[in-house]
Amino acid sequence: MARKKKTDVEAVAELPSNAHIAGAGFVEDQSIVRTLEENYMPYAMSVIMSRAIPEIDGFKPSHRKLLYTMYKMGLLKGNLIKSANIAGQTMRLNPHGDAAIYDTMVRLSRGNESLLHPYVESKGNFGKAYSTDIECAASRYTEAKLMPIAGELFSDIDKDTVDFVDNYDATMKEPTLLPVTFPSILVNNNLGIAVGMASNICSFNLQEVCDTAIALMKDPDHDVTTTLSAPDFPGGGIILCPPEGFGQIYETGRGSIRIRSVWHYDKSNNYIDVTEIPYTTTIEAIIGKVTELVKAGKLKEINDIRNETGIDKKTGTTNLKITIDLKRGTDHEKLMQKLFASTPLEDSFGCNFNVLIAGVPQVLGVRRLLEEWTAFRMECVRRRTYYDLSKAREKLHLYKGLQKILLDIDKAVAIVRATEEEAEVVPNLMIGFGIDQIQAEYVAEIKLRHFNREYILKRIADIEELERLIADLEDILQSRNRVKRIIVDELKEVAKKHGKPRRSQVLYLTEAPKKIEREEEEIPNYPCTLFFSEGGYFKKIQPNSLRMNNDQKYKEGDKLRQSVETTNDVELLFFSSAGNVYKTRANDFADTKASLLGDYVPGTLDFDAGENAIYMVTTRDYSGYMLFFFENGKVAKVELSAYATQTRRRKLVGAYSDKSPLVAVVHVPMDAEFMLTSTSGRRLLLHTGAIAPKTTRTTIGVQVMTLKGSHRLASVEPYRDGMVLKPARYRTKSLPAAGAMPLAEDIGEQLTLG
């Protein structure tokens, strides 16, 4: 007996630890737990902590490194410089390459329009967040500097307000956080995808955020919804506010916000201009979806759609505009409702306020985020105050020493003149006036021109001012309320200097929005005749076209299977040879002519390979029954309602049983009689009322015709009066039955269905 050849995996598994494989090197046997701990977990933690999740200052590390570099380059003032220069300088802190750094700068820029309050002033083509076709120019062509609001990010950063750490090669220092004077975490949107978690924070209006932060500091039980009406997106749009408001998002940090485009109808020219779109989509995505629906015949009211976004000659800004040309007589209001339901002209923003707090990722609501930011900002103010206090105490200490010197300047001059060596000046002053070394060093450095009455009086006045300042700073450090008042004043100043009107309008809904049925549309209702051939071709022809030409064209070897006179609004069910059913509508097919082949159903409805359409059902209310006749003599009677679905599903698997080959499939509105014929020649006249209906589509049915040996059910035909001379001969009182051999005069041509 031949031995089974081992797989590569089995062969490697049997190798000893540290075995050598030719062409592959050494293979080490290692525990999967150890591999995850040593390789995967450090990577996951690095992505979460140092790349994808923002911190309480509102920035990811890549944003913070870029902005701090620009700050150190003096770009808060002065002229714009080449973006390539900025990207190169930032590589001292961020070693991920200039392309990644430039992409970060593009998103933070005013020209890209990604942020409600951009931090980077831009010159040149920085692309557009709302378009995939408008890409940014290379960094060597564009210029940038910091926007005025960026000054709020670095307020007193040189006064020890935040911690500094070494950069990746320990050649310079960088801040771990920025001491932002406003809650930037909520003012600008932020998206990050980490390992096993993500963050998606929407933007809010700066004035509203500052007002809410102030209100929460004054009253911890403040109702956030009264000062923070809704999110505010850079691209504007209309935010749909449900009756319950956004309380869930404000409290939990999770939820969904629906955003609708802003549009205007031009009656004289019969077109619609879309001027603001949801932040979550692009012009190309909207045009692509509308074009797809027009080609599929689901938006027949539209003649053309085009992108007319361009630069305003007066202002020099880029104005978004999508123009939709309508057909004559179109109800533009109804059309827009259809577009909102089926295209990204109305989209949703999924909120996930995941933020790193002291190195721990937490999903927080608006209230908790503002509380955490307030605690962070209070610590910044305390550290700044302590820094100022330390500097004031040092200065006072120097002035106290100077005060002693100024009481007898002549003595000080005499000491200096009498000292033979320069190194002895400071020690002699210390001995002569009873001051310490620091004070003596300061006195020794005073210029001779300052030894006058005016200078002395000013320094004494400075001492009094410093003493008052120190007392005030000490009081601030001891008073939590004073720290809060300082933050409140800063917030008011930020809102006054940088506040802007809301970009996004808010539409307050009086009732909960209904579930969107994206396929729902008004279907024109007109009479038509449907033709379905054995080869799977479908035609929908209007009566006037049939009157002109009723000579149907088919492929060679093909012929008509079914024809139904109905209307354009019926639903169609196509049963396949693989036991599936495909659902569509007559309206989804275009009107055609008898002289054309029509639509190939398996191709139009995306049948699986080798799958053919064998039967067509037309219905409006899913009434009646489906009858499945199998070769083993069984018949399944399934209610047509078993194929109805709440959603617009195109394909249903398990349409009928596959335990025995199918002979025929028929849809009947009510019970009827059928003539069954077996391969032995026997016939059975079956009334379907004798079969109990089932709601399970894959039922194997009930035995109605007994078959002996290798015989099987061969054909099925609806019974018509006069089909046989003695119909009672083929009827039976009980099922199953073998049927009867036909009389000589009853033998004729039989038709097989299915």
Tokens 């190195």, residue located? 359
pLDDT at 748 over 60: no
User: Tell me, what's the pLDDT at 14?
Assistant: 58
Which parts of 515-578 fold into alpha helices (H)? 543-548
Q: Are 325 and 303 in contact (CB under 8 A)?
A: yes
Q: How does pLDDT run across 167-192, given as a tens digit for each residue?
A: 999 999 999 999 999 999 999 998 88
Which string of b and e fits 160-195 if b means at least 16 CB within 10 Å?
Answer: bbbeeeeeeeeeeebbebbbbbbbbbbbbbbebebe
Which parts of 434-585 fold into alpha helices (H)? 437-444, 453-478, 480-498, 543-548
| Domain 370-498, second-level architecture | Orthogonal Bundle (1.10)
Q: How does pLDDT run across 530-551, given as a tens digit for each residue?
A: 999 999 999 999 888 888 887 8
User: Tell me, what's the pLDDT at 715?
Assistant: 92
Domain 53-180 fold? Topoisomerase II; domain 5 (3.90.199)
Spatial CA neighbour of 308 closest among 341, 335, 275, 344 = 275
User: Tell me, what's the pLDDT at 449?
Assistant: 79
Burial (CB count within 10 angstroms: exposed 0-12, middle 13-18, buried 19+), residue 74: exposed
Distance CA 153, CA 140 (A): 27
User: How, if at all, do strands 238-241 and 505-508 pair?
Assistant: parallel
Task: Calculate the CA 656 to chain-centre distance.
Answer: 39
User: Tell me, what's the pLDDT at 516?
Assistant: 45
pLDDT at 105 over 50: yes
Residue 618's pLDDT band (boundaries 50, 70, 90)? Answer: very high
Distance CA 507, CA 317 (A): 27
Distance CA 71, CA 85 (A): 14
pLDDT at 515 over 70: no
Counting residues of the chain whose pLDDT is more than 70, the rounded percentage is 94
pLDDT at 375 over 90: yes
Q: Are 310 and 266 in contact (CB under 8 A)?
A: no
Residue 751's pLDDT band (boundaries 50, 70, 90)? Answer: very low
User: Tell me, what's the pLDDT at 519?
Assistant: 45
Cα distances (Å, whole numbers) of residue 652 to 344, 639, 648, 649, 729: 27, 15, 11, 7, 41
What is the tally of helices (H) and strands (E) in the chain? 19, 36
Residue 722's pLDDT band (boundaries 50, 70, 90)? Answer: confident
CATH number of this structure's domain 527-746 = 2.120.10.90
Helix, strand or coil, per DSSP, at residue 715: strand
Distance CA 549, CA 727 (A): 40
Q: Are 537 and 600 in contact (CB under 8 A)?
A: yes
User: Tell me, what's the pLDDT at 750?
Assistant: 46
Task: Between 20 and 211, name the one with better pLDDT.
Answer: 211
Residue 752's pLDDT band (boundaries 50, 70, 90)? Answer: very low
Mean pLDDT over each residue of the chain, to the nearest integer: 88
pLDDT at 87 over 90: yes
Distance CA 226, CA 229 (A): 7
Spatial CA neighbour of 293 closest among 521, 490, 563 = 521
pLDDT at 553 over 80: yes
The catalytic residues are 141
Q: Are 713 and 676 in contact (CB under 8 A)?
A: yes
HSE-CB at 578 with a 13 A cutoff on CA atoms is 13
The residue ranges of every structural domain in the chain are 8-36, 53-180, 262-344, 370-498, 527-746
Determine if the pTM surpasses 0.85.
no
Q: Are 207 and 495 in contact (CB under 8 A)?
A: yes
Domain at 262-344, CATH from 3.30.930.10, 3.30.1360.40, 1.10.599.10, 3.30.70.270: 3.30.1360.40
pLDDT at 740 over 80: yes
Spatial CA neighbour of 586 closest among 530, 520, 640 = 530
Distance CA 508, CA 608 (A): 46
Distance CA 86, CA 106 (A): 12
